[in-house]
Structure 1
Amino acid sequence: MAPITLAVDAKGSDTPNRKRANLQLERNMSFASVRTGEEKPFDFCRTFFEGFIAGGTAGVVVETSLYPIDTIKTRLQEARGGGQIVLKGLYSGLAGNLVGVLPASALFVGVYEPTKKKLLKIFPENLSAIAHLTSGAVAGLAASLIRVPTEVVKQRMQTRQFASAPDAVWLIVSKEGFKGFYAGYGSFLLRDLPFDAIQFCIYEQLRIGYKMAARRDLKDPENAIVGAFAGALTGAITTPLDVIKTRLMVQGSANQYNGIVDCVQTIIREEGPPALLKGIGPRVMWIGIGGSIFFGVLENTKRFLAQRRPIHPITDSSKRD
């Protein structure tokens, strides 16, 4: 990144216009993937809070917009053999799912942003991808505590096992206990931790390369295009993990599969290896479009929040000496 220079007057102090420009630049760079100076506790809290708001907003917009595609993908993966899928009730479970998506997405970005800033200070610039990979995995692990129960209820409603979210919650508790909300938790982590790490790493690295080539910040449509590519590629790579996760989550108390390994072996034995790619079309389309919307809304919201921070005047340290 090119060095930032300051225009100074004859007395050696910043000009008023340049001071204001630098203050605005400092606010806009708070989420940038670059090293920064010493971070104060307030800066960490502010980064967490702004990430929390931006992530929650982006998650709700994506989920509401693309829920029918996700429902079709889930029904394709759940169907055994050549079973037919039902195209009715494509918004089944949306309201209940939003109750979980909002805090899960908010928590994810709220953890991701300060973790990324901290790790970017530790790793050298040529290893920034490791910081992004690690931050995505850490944030995914934190968000999984909310994501998994939400996903269990959502997918069982999408496969028409329950009529409403309250019914789903009540029957899961009565038949399986509270552990039923974490059915397939291991397979969920097996899918989501690599997914989160890879998607955010690809997105961040592409943005860094784009910004260096263009010598400017990306515009919203450009962020959306980068997000779409990162989401579609990651979605395709992790489809087999998603199929396994879906089968374990929707099996309920029937216990058709005894863990991840048994699930993989049973699917390959009964349906053949191609079954591990079930729903790849809707998944790539859903996550690709979702990545476009999510990252576009995310960056726009982060910028909106950054522009509304209070500007504190810069004090001349030489006057204190």
Structure 2
Amino acid sequence: MDPPILSIDSGSHPTTSPDVCRSKFSNSTMEIRKPFASVTMGEEPFNFLRALCDGVIAGATAGVVVETVLYPIDTIKTRLQVAHGGSKIYWRGLYSGLAGNLAGVLPASAIFVGIYEPTKQKLLRVFPENLSAFAHLTAGAIGGAASSLIRVPTEVVKQRMQTGQFTTAPNAVRLIVAREGIRGLYAGYSSFLLRDLPFDAIQFCIYEQIRIGYKIAARRELNDPENAIIGAFAGAITGAITTPLDVMKTRLMVQGSANQYKGILNCAQTILREEGPAAFLKGIGPRMLWIGIGGSIFFGILERTKLLLSQRHFDLGQKS
């Protein structure tokens, strides 16, 4: 978890002396000239299990709050993306499928951050300091791949309900499996990975790197509003970049047994031929808004939860 002074790794405790802090800051300012923001690792031995457990708790908390607050925007985005030509979208049932989606979001977010945090901390000890961005990119991709096993079925059920195909999550799961088999719950899996692995890697890398650089410039730990603003920026930029991939992923997931598209390439070719290049940017506004606000809430809650857990570990260590 993040210490209260300049050392960026979560391993150290708030007992750093002023002289050490000045020395670390002097070294950190020299690192700004390197290609990527650098990271000073703490001296405490790496505790994989603690990092995993803390990540699971922080990820689950942040994921559930974000999904609950922003679900209506996501519903509008999905309906915009599946609309063909001049079709109108409907505004009823914007929270359709939320309960079932939370049942998947909670473990998926827990798995993602639970894998990301210890992987990131381990890789930061392997990569040179000036290449910390590669540690963040790699950890984000690994966390995304692990959580995709839950995120994809959750996304399929959610988007089918958002587009009015089913009314309840259990009914959706039962009918999808009956009509399409287990594979139906993983419809669009390859397009999901194509979108979400780079999304997770890029978003967390942008967030971590800006946060590290800001810490060095500010010479202090960041507060909750600053973490939230950085998270919003990272989310909005990454969301805009990956919108074309998101459009294809949505089309593949909601087509059901109709099999209008025969895979990612065929989906891209069909959309381009029938609707033109602009169709790949459908829903970009709601997507940027949704992910930008979501990034603000997610990273704000994530950092606050990590800090509370870190302080709890420290207090327990002092008592023992």
Tell whether the structures are fold-level matches, with TM greater than 0.5.
yes
Separation in 2 of the partners of 1:49 and 1:33? 23
**Residue 219 of structure 2 corresponds to residue 215 of structure 1:** yes
Is 1:180 matched with 2:184? yes
Percentage identity across aligned positions? 71
Contact 2:227 2:303 in 1 (8 A): yes
Is 1:119 the equivalent of 2:123? yes
- The AA in structure 1 aligned to 2:122 is K
Change (3 A) 1:20 1:279: closer
Q: Choose from 71, 77, 81 the match for 1:77.
A: 81
RMSD of equivalent CA atoms? 2.1
Correspondent of 1:312 among 288, 305, 317: 317
2:53 to 24, 49, 52: 49
The CA deviation at 1:78 is 0.7
One of 165, 172, 188 as aligned partner of 1:161:
165
Q: Distance in 2 between matches of 1:168 and 1:136?
A: 30
Number of the residue aligned with 1:148 = 152
Q: 1:36 offset after TM fit, Å?
A: 3.6
Q: Give unmatched runs, 5+ long, in structure 1.
A: 4-18, 26-31, 315-321
User: Which amino acid in structure 2 is aligned with residue 39 of structure 1?
Assistant: P
Q: CA deviation at 1:2?
A: 6.7
The match for 1:66 is 70
Q: Deviations over 1:244-303 (max 9, x none)?
A: 000000000000000000000000000001000000000000000000000000000111
CA contact (8 A) 1:36 1:121 kept: no
Structure 1 residues 304 and 289, CA gap change in structure 2 (3 angstroms): same
2:292 to 256, 278, 288: 288
What's the counterpart of residue 35 of structure 1? Answer: 41
Count the aligned residue pairs. Answer: 291
Larger radius of gyration: 1
1:265 matched residue in structure 2: 269
Query: SS at the partner of 1:264?
Result: helix
TM-score (norm 1): 0.87
Task: Sort the Cα spacing of 1:194 and 1:79 in 2 relative to 1 into closer, same or farther, 3 A.
Answer: same
Query: C-alpha separation between the residues in 2 aligned to 1:312 and 1:126?
Result: 32
CA deviation after TM superposition for structure 1 residue 166, in Å: 1.2
The runs of at least 4 consecutive aligned structure 1 residues that moved more than 6 Å come to none
Deviations 1:206-252 (A, max 9, x none): 00000000000100000000000000000000000000000000000
Relative to the length of structure 2, the TM-score reads 0.87
Whether contact under 8 Å (1:33, 1:117) holds in the other structure is no
